[in-house]
Amino acid sequence: MTDVHSGSRTADSGPQSYPEAVRLDDPGLVRAWTQGATAALRRERGAIDRVNVFPVADADTGTNLYLTLREGDRAVAAAPADATGPQLLATLARAALLGARGNSGVILSEWLRGLAVAARRGGTAADLLTRAAASARSAVAVPAEGTILTAADAAGAAARTARSGADAGVDAGVLPVVTAAAAAARASARASRDELDVLRTAGVLDAGALGLVLVLDALVVAAEQAADPGSETGSDAGADADPGTGPGGVSVVRGSMEAVNLDQLLDAGALPSAPDAADPAHPATSSASPAPDPASGTAEPAGLASHDAGSGGLELMFVLTGPAGEASETVAAGLRASLAEVGDSVVVVGGDSGADAAVWQAHVHTDHLDQALAIAAEVSRARTLAQVHVRHLAAAGQDEWGVVAVTSAPGLAAELAHTGAVVLLSGGLGSTVEPLTPDDVGRAAASTGARRVLILGAPDVTAGIEQPLDVDELITVPAATDVHAVVALAALGTLLPLGLPDDVGVPDPVDARALVGEALAGLTVRAVPGADAVGALRESGGPGTTVVTALLDADVPADLADRLAAVLGEQAPDAELVLLATGRPGDGVHLGTETDVPEVDA
Give the pLDDT of residue 171. 47
Rounded Cα gap, residues 173 and 380, in angstroms? 43
Question: Mind listing the pLDDT tens digit for each residue in 222-269?
Answer: 988 887 766 554 433 333 333 332 222 333 444 444 433 333 433 433
pLDDT at residue 241 in the model = 38
Q: Extract the runs of DSSP E, i.e. beta strands, from 276-356.
A: 314-323, 343-352
Q: Is 251:9 a contact under the CB 8 Å cutoff? A: no
Q: Which residues of the chain have pLDDT under 50?
A: 1-20, 167-171, 233-312, 468, 494, 497-507, 600-602
Confidence at residue 330, expressed as pLDDT on a 0 to 100 scale:
80
Neighbouring CB atoms inside 10 A of 503's CB total 8
- Rounded to whole angstroms, the Cα distance separating 100 from 108 reads 8
Helix (H), strand (E) at residue 58: none
- What are the distances in angstroms from CA 128 to CA 92, 145, 340, 411? 14, 22, 29, 43
Q: What is the pLDDT of residue 311?
A: 36
SS3 content of the chain, % helix, strand, coil (to 5): 45, 15, 40
Q: What are 527-530's contacts with CB under 8 Å, separation 24+?
A: 527/481, 527/588, 527/589, 527/590, 527/591, 528/588, 528/589, 528/591, 529/587, 529/588, 529/589, 530/555, 530/556, 530/557, 530/560, 530/587, 530/588, 530/589
CB neighbour class for 457 (10 Å; exposed up to 12, middle 13-18, buried from 19): buried
Rounded to an integer, what distance in angstroms lies between the CA atom of residue 326 and that of residue 129? Answer: 25
3-state secondary structure (DSSP) of residue 1: coil
Q: Quick one: which of 98, 580, 59 has its CA closest to 318? A: 98
Residue 78: burial class (beta carbons within 10 Å; 0-12, 13-18, 19+): exposed
**Rounded Cα gap, residues 166 and 179, in angstroms:** 14
d(Cα 257, Cα 2) in Å, to the nearest integer?
A: 12
Task: Sketch out the chain's domains with CATH numbers.
Answer: 25-269 (1.25.40.340), 365-519 (3.40.50), 522-595 (3.30.1330.20)
**CA triplet 141, 144, 146: central angle to 5 degrees?**
150
- Name the pTM for this structure: 0.73
Cis bond upstream, residue 497 (ω within 30) = yes
Report pLDDT for 463. Answer: 62
Check residue 386 and report its DSSP letter.
E
CA torsion, ordered 82, 122, 164, 254, to nearest 10 deg? -30
- Quick one: pLDDT at residue 562? 93
What is the Cα–Cα distance from 84 to 68, expressed in whole angstroms? 22
Q: List all residues 6 or more positions away from 340 whose beta carbon is below 8 Å from its beta carbon.
A: 141, 142, 346, 364
Whole-angstrom distance, CA of residue 168 vs CA of residue 171: 8
H-state helical runs in 526-600? 533-540, 560-571
Contacts of 401 (CB under 8 A, 6+ apart): 450, 451, 452, 453, 454, 492, 495, 496, 499, 500, 510, 512
In angstroms, the CA 412 to CA 425 distance is: 10
Q: How far apart are CA 302 and CA 199, in angstroms?
A: 10
Rounded CA separation 109/97 (Å): 5
